[in-house]
Amino acid sequence: MSSRRASRRRTTLALLTAATVVTALSACATGEPAPPPGDTPSVTSFAPLFGGSATVPAPNLGGSAPGSLVSVKPLEGNEQLEDVDARVERVVYRSTSGVDGSRTEVSGVIAIPPGTPPPGGWPVIAFGHGTTGVLDKCAPSDFSTLVGNGSMMASMIQSGFAVTLPDFQGLGVRGYLNPFLDGATYGNNMIDSVRAARNLDPTGVSTNWTAFGHSLGGLAAWGAADRDAAYGGGLSLKGTMAMAPPADMSGLADKAQAGTLTGDQRVALIFALQSLSWTNPTLDLNRYRTPSLASKWNLLLDCTAPLDEVLKTRETVTNADLKPDTQADTDRLRTLLEQWAVPKNPVTGPMLLMFGTKDELVDWQWTQAAADKACRIGGFIEIDKRMGEGHGDLESDRGLPWLKDRIAGQTANNTCPPRT
């Protein structure tokens, strides 16, 4: 392996695409069964898990406002975060559905650096994780490994950031459904995770924050920037980095009709159809899947099933299994996916958008079209299109330095064409 390739492997975000969700979660589950889905933790201790740290105040528990803490419990066993002496809590906090505006509860992880915070508190990175599934047992915070996200969080901690890792609505808290690919819901969840961090450490966490994510997490980061003006009051979003985001996946409908979906896109469509059926009770899944696929559906959604069984089942799914019955069904699917897409509003602050031309999950033309739309409606965006790179192998070297520059107030590049 060349040194460049080895460096890329080391620095690429350890996040999950729709094609690899079961791999990571099943690897965790083999040695550590998930707790009961939606199990709400109770407060047991607010002391850090390491010695010699600064005294931390008790968190602000209770309340009904977005970001209010419902529960807090130390998360133990993540070696990467323990190695950097981070204070790590598994929290449940209040948020808002982007689908219907209802109040929700979302779980996640908050990690705070050791020692004395800088004046104004630790700046925050809201870190959007990749796809882990759509069921309530698919939450990264239900696993001490955090499904491979601990290493990147540790790097952020060492760079002087507090870090939030929201599970996203419907993952980790029973009673709520996951709206897969809904940028508004994920954006609200990201913003409220920062509020939750401030409630966890009222004096040590800053109002200054950034959003960062890859794949589904890239959509969440973009969604946060899209929602910030309307929803992010009281916080100061300094910058957003979205890598390979599935910003607008409405093109899946026409590719399903044409029979040209990639393997990664078939998995993503299965997750999307399930979520859409939850939020649209009149949507008949059987108009979008064959009886053969319906018989495998539950296994394909199960993020903790044996890995080899799921992978073998995925190999049996064909494009013919996911062809909408009629053109009207295709049109409805496209419309529903468009409703969840970003952008809807101008992004707050600068955004770095990275994507590759060999992406097998998100066609690069879809991302380019979303970027062009964002520029037209008033975005301040640096568009970094990587020739020959795919979904999971984007160079991420720019990530932390770029975010640190935003916190420092340095000017970002804007490659959007001038508005006339």
Q: What is the pLDDT of residues 198-216, one digit of tens each?
A: 999 999 999 999 999 999 9
Give the pLDDT of residue 420.
58
Q: Note whether 224 and 248 are within 8 A (CB).
A: no
Q: Is residue 30 situated within a structural domain? A: yes
**Domain identity same for 236 and 255:** no
Q: Is residue 418 situated within a structural domain? A: no
Q: Decide which of 338, 368, 385 is a domain's last residue.
A: 338
Q: Is residue 416 situated within a structural domain? A: no
Q: What is the CATH number of the domain that holds 110?
A: 3.40.50.1820
**Domain identity same for 91 and 26:** yes
Give percent above pLDDT 70 in the chain.
86
CA distance 85 to 112: 9
**Domain identity same for 224 and 328:** no
- pLDDT > 60? residue 54: no
Q: Decide which of 305, 338, 371 is a domain's last residue.
A: 338
- Chain segment 213-261, per-residue pLDDT in tens: 999 999 999 999 999 999 999 999 999 999 999 999 999 999 999 999 9
Q: Report which secondary-structure segment, H or E, holds 66.
A: none
Q: Decide which of 338, 354, 387 is a domain's last residue.
A: 338
Q: Report which secondary-structure segment, H or E, holds 332.
A: helix 327-340
- Chain segment 20-30, per-residue pLDDT in tens: 443 333 333 33
CA distance 246 to 248: 6
User: Span 289-316, mean pLDDT?
Assistant: 96
Residue 189 belongs to domain spanning = 3-248+341-407
**Domain identity same for 93 and 196:** yes
Q: Note whether 260 and 169 are within 8 A (CB).
A: no
**Domain identity same for 82 and 187:** yes
Q: Is residue 394 situated within a structural domain? A: yes
409 phi and psi angles, rounded to 5 deg: 85, 15
Average the pLDDT over each of 7-16, 62-71, 265-274, 279-288 and give the range with the smallest value: 7-16
- For the whole model, what pTM was predicted? 0.88
**Domain identity same for 349 and 376:** yes
**Domain identity same for 59 and 172:** yes
**Domain identity same for 167 and 289:** no
Rg (CA), the chain: 20
- Chain segment 136-163, per-residue pLDDT in tens: 999 999 999 999 999 999 999 999 999 9
pLDDT-based confidence at residue 15 (cuts at 50, 70, 90): very low
Please tell me the total count of domains within the chain.
2
Q: Is residue 417 situated within a structural domain? A: no
**Domain identity same for 330 and 352:** no
Q: Is residue 420 situated within a structural domain? A: no
